[in-house]
Each structure stands twice: as C-alpha cells, then as structure tokens.
Amino acid sequence: MKTFPENFLWGAATSAPQSEGASRIDGKSDSTWDKWFEMAPERFNDNQGPQITSDMYHQYKEDVQRMKAIGMNSFRTSISWTRLLPDGQHLNPKAVAFYRDYFQELKANGIEPIINLFHFDMPWWLMEKGGWESRESVDTFAYYAKTAFQAFGDLVQNWTTFNEPMVHIECSYLQGYHYPAIHDFKKAVQAGYHTLMAHIKAVSEFRKLQIENAKIGILLNISPAYAKSDAPEDLRAKEIADHLNIFSFLDTTVLGQVPDFLIEILAANQLLPKTVAGDKALIANNPVDFVGMNYYQPFRVQAKLDGKQPAEDPSDLYASYVWPNRRMNEYRGWEIYPEALYDVAMLMKTKYHNIPWFVSENGMGVADEARFADKTGMIQDDYRIAFMQEHLVQLQRGIEAGSHCFGYHAWTFADCWSWLNGYRNRYGFYSVDLADHQKRTVKKSGLWFKTLTENNGFE
Ligand code: BGP
C-alpha cells in the first residue's frame, strides 16, 4: 500500500475564466479573453469562447456536492479580477456576494478553498494601458490583491498570486497563443519582470494585513529540462532553459533573489528589464510560504550552436530534442514522464530548503473524449487513472525521501474551457455536455479518485 501523509490535500483545480462563464453579466467587465473572442472568434477552437464555459457561476452549489461525492477535500479556483473590480477601483457587490457564498459553500462541505488571483485573465482596461508591459500593472495588481485579501480573508486561508506566470508571458509575447500575440523577447522579459514584481508587492500587502493562519504562495508550471547528453554544451542548454523557465520565478519567490546566471544570460543578450530602486530589497523580503507545481511533461533540450546573437527567441539559446525512448499521450500530444515528479520533489527538498509544496495541476488531456463513453454515458478513462497513478507513485517516492509535499490536485474537477483550445482537450473527473446545459457526468476516474482519497493512498 502506498500511503500519503496525514491531512494530505486531495483535490482538483480550475480557474475563474475557464469554469465560471457569466463573463458579461452581473457587472463583470471584459478581460482580454472576452475582447479577443469578440474580435477574432475564428482563432478559438470550434468558436468556443469564454462566455458560458462550464457555467460554475450558476452551478457551483451542485458542483460542491459533486466534489464531495468524489472525495475531494480541497479545491483551487481563481477570482476573476474583472468581476471583483470591473474598473480596477470599485468593488462589485455582486462579485463579493458570489465569491463569499461559493467559498462558504466549499468550507461548509469540508473542502478547503485554495484561491488564486490571476489565471491569464488580464483586464481589458489594463491591457489598453500596456498590460504587463507597463510598470503601472504592478501597483494595480497589488491593489486588486489587497482588495481580495480584505474581502475574503476570513474565509480563505490559502492564497496564491499567479498561476503559471511564465505561460501568459510566453504565450502573449513569444508564441501567439494569448493576446496581444506578438513576438518580442525583450517585451516578454519586461512583462515577466512586472509580473514578478506584482507578485512580490501582493505578498507584501498580504503580510501587512497579518491575517490569522493565512498563507500565501505561487503556482508555477514546471517542465524540468533534461539534457540530450552530458556534453558541456547540452548541459549548458539545460541550465539556460531551467533558468529562464523555472528558476526565474522559483528562486525569486522562494529564495528572494534573481539568480546571477539568469542575469548573465539576459545581459549577454541585451534583454535586461527596466527595474526600479528598491525592487531588490522587496524581492529579498517577501518570500512565499508555499509553492504549487503544475506538472504535465518534461522538457528535452540540446545545445543550439547556431542561434542568433543576441537571441531573438529562447530557441536561439537552446534547442528542443526528441528523446528516442519517449512515451506520448497520444490523445493530447505531450510526453508522459512521471519520473520528473520525483525529481521535482527532490529539487524542492534540496535547492529550495524543503519548502512546503503541492502538485497544483497534473492530468491527462484527451481530445474527442466522448468516444470513450459507455452505454450509460460514463467515460471509461482508464488511461487517466493509469496516468495519475504512475505520477502518484513517483510523488510518494519523493515524499518518502523527505520532500515536504502536502497535496495533489488534478487538473481538473469538471471538463473546462481552455483558451484557444476551447473544449478540445478534456481533463475532468466529470464530463461536461455542452449540448445539454453543461450537464455533468462522473467519469470512471472520479470514482477511482474517491477510493484513493478514502484510503489516502493505493495498492
Ligand atoms: C495549464 C493551465 C490550465 C489548463 C491546462 C491544460 O497549463 O494552467 O489553465 O489550460 O494547462 O491545457 P490544455 O487545455 O491546453 O491541454
């Protein structure tokens, strides 16, 4: 029997923009997603936009019962910035009432809410002023964070500032998947730096409020880099990739310092961001209490010998590499490599002084998943059960080796909308029928999860 520590958090994660819907009612203003969908619906898979999604705005009470039914003792979602502060300044009373009731409902049913502040949903009014490219975003975010801590601090003990900050930066400024979909490495670094400072200032506001028993962290996407070989050029490529993608946020938010190696790389490529006097001290003085690690797949790298100098893209600094032994999630297109979760556990134990952490997302996306439904309509997702179990084996090894992991959250509770991908990749413990008022049906994995949580482990 593989068991997990006492009071282990078993749960699932989602975000406001992906699950709530109701994006243009009850006083909410537009995020970049609402606007972008209006401007270019053809970019979105099957023309599926953020307006309705899984309709949790209206179905949260029943959903809390569904969470309970599959044994979840914790749940992560986010607050929609544009719902809470539609103009950035004034509280929307309907949003306060909605979130208070939602969080109370979770708590009353023994489900610990972990509440995140930003999951890729930049307010349109702030985007018009430059979004994360503008330094104004730092204090504007800190004000939003403080407002949320004050409005819900009596209900929420576990807060996080950002989900996968690296993703909104890369996708907006390098890869074209998020608005404004431009390609500019220098702007990406500046937007990343402002995101980091927004996080740091939010933590500083949080500390000033001294909310009893409350903790704050950040959720990072972790795709550890594995080098093609032990040749120095490949190992250097791994170092660069890890510094840009992982250590940039982990070192600064946990250890309170920007890594020297990262500064060297940025300087050598004329990419150093503009900073403000006092930033360094703020970073040093505001470490997090815990971190969440979203893990899906590893990153395989090799040296890039002919990249442009100065680099115009991270791919000028390292090249990706296809590992000959790789195993793929054939339904989504990502490599499956559970062993990385053990490596992450050890990284947290050694380099990050054994800070408390949890797996804040892990899961298996499947396109066209309705094909796996049985006659009753239940998705027989044995592939997902196998995927999660394999990852839990590695996680448990890490915990046994002394890593301070306090929970495992699957992505996701019920199938949800996912940006340009719409509803293509399904991840939920419940399926959502878009043709029938977003009707939820538990999947086989939901039942498996219930048994897992009841036993606090598995055979
Ligand atoms: C993570 C994000 C989630 C979600 C998930 C699945 O990176 O935090 O918001 O989208 O990935 O992604 P996809 O739907 O593209 O398979």
Average pLDDT, integer, range 71-76: 98
C-alpha 428/C-alpha 442 separation (Å) is: 9
Residue located nearest, by CA, to atom 6 of ligand 1: 418
The residue type of 310 is P
Catalytic option among 20, 112, 170, 361? 361
Segment 6-31 shows an average pLDDT of 98
- For residues 141-169, average pLDDT: 98
Residues with Cβ within 8 Å of 185's Cβ and at least 6 positions away in sequence, in order, are: 173, 174, 269, 271, 311, 312, 313, 314
Query: What confidence tier does 170 reach under pLDDT thresholds 50, 70, 90?
Result: very high
The pLDDT of residue 97 is: 98
Ligand 1 atom having least distance to the Cα of 164: 8
112 is catalytic: no
79 secondary structure, DSSP code: -
Pocket test for ligand 1, best of 411, 416, 424 (most atoms within 8 A of CB): 411
Give the span between the Cα atoms of 317 and 58, in whole angstroms: 47
Per-residue pLDDT band at 364 (split at 50, 70, 90): very high
Classify residue 142 as exposed, middle or buried by CB count within 10 Å of its CB (0-12, 13-18, 19+). Answer: buried
Residue 157: pLDDT over 90? yes
Q: How confident is the model at residue 371 (pLDDT cuts 50, 70, 90)?
A: very high
| Cα 412 to ligand 1 centroid, rounded to whole Å | 9
pLDDT at position 305, please?
Answer: 87
CA-332 nearest atom, ligand 1: 16
Residues with CB under 6 A from ligand 1: 15, 18, 163-164, 167, 221, 294, 332, 361, 365, 411, 418, 421, 425
Q: Alpha-carbon dihedral of residues 393, 398, 402, 407, nearest 10 degrees?
A: -70
Residue 84's pLDDT band (boundaries 50, 70, 90)? very high
pLDDT band at 1 (very low <50, low <70, confident <90, very high): confident
Of the candidates 20, 112, 133, 164, the residue annotated as catalytic is: 164
Q: What separation in Å is there between the alpha carbon of 431 and the centre of ligand 1?
A: 16
Q: What is the mean pLDDT of the chain?
A: 98
Q: What is the CA(294)–ligand 1 centre distance, in A?
A: 10
Residue 256 is predicted with a pLDDT of: 98
Give the CATH number of the domain where residue 17 resides: 3.20.20.80
**Ligand 1 atom with the shortest distance to the CA of 424:** 14
Cis peptide before 310 (omega within 30 of 0): yes
Query: Quick one: average pLDDT of 54-73?
Result: 98
State the pLDDT at residue 186.
98
In the predicted structure, residue 18 carries a pLDDT above the cut 90: yes
SS3 233: helix
What are 204's two structure tokens? Answer: 């500083």
Q: Tell me what the mean pLDDT of segment 335-353 comes to.
A: 98
- Total domains in the chain come to 1
Burial class (CB in 10 A: 0-12, 13-18, 19+), 386: middle
Closest atom, ligand 1, to C-alpha of 120? 9
Instruction: Say what the pLDDT of residue 384 is.
Output: 98
Helix (H) or strand (E) holding 219: strand 215-221
- Mean per-residue pLDDT, 364-381: 98
Considering only CA atoms, which of 127, 146, 14 is closest in space to residue 77? Answer: 14
> Tens digit of pLDDT for each residue in 261-300?
999 999 999 999 999 999 999 999 999 999 999 999 999 9
pLDDT band per the 50, 70, 90 thresholds, residue 459: confident
Burial 279-304 (b: 16+ CB within 10 A, else e): beeebeebbbebbbbbbbbbbbbbbb
How would residue 401 be classed by pLDDT, with cut points 50, 70 and 90? very high
pLDDT value, residue 221: 97
Q: Using the predicted structure, report yes or no on whether residue 409 has a pLDDT greater than 90.
A: yes
In the residue annotation, 459 being an active-site residue is answered as no
Choose which residue among 18, 418, 426 to substitute to test ligand 1 binding: the one with the highest number of ligand atoms within 8 A of its C-beta.
418
**pLDDT given for residue 106 in this prediction:** 98
Half-sphere exposure of 44 (CA within 13 A, CB side): 22
Domain encompassing residue 328: 2-458
Q: What is the pLDDT of residue 323?
A: 98
Q: How confident is the model at residue 90 (pLDDT cuts 50, 70, 90)?
A: very high
CA-nearest residue, atom 3 of ligand 1: 418
Distances (CA, A) of 28 to 90, 146, 242, 417: 12, 19, 38, 18
Q: What is the DSSP code (8-state) at residue 108?
A: H
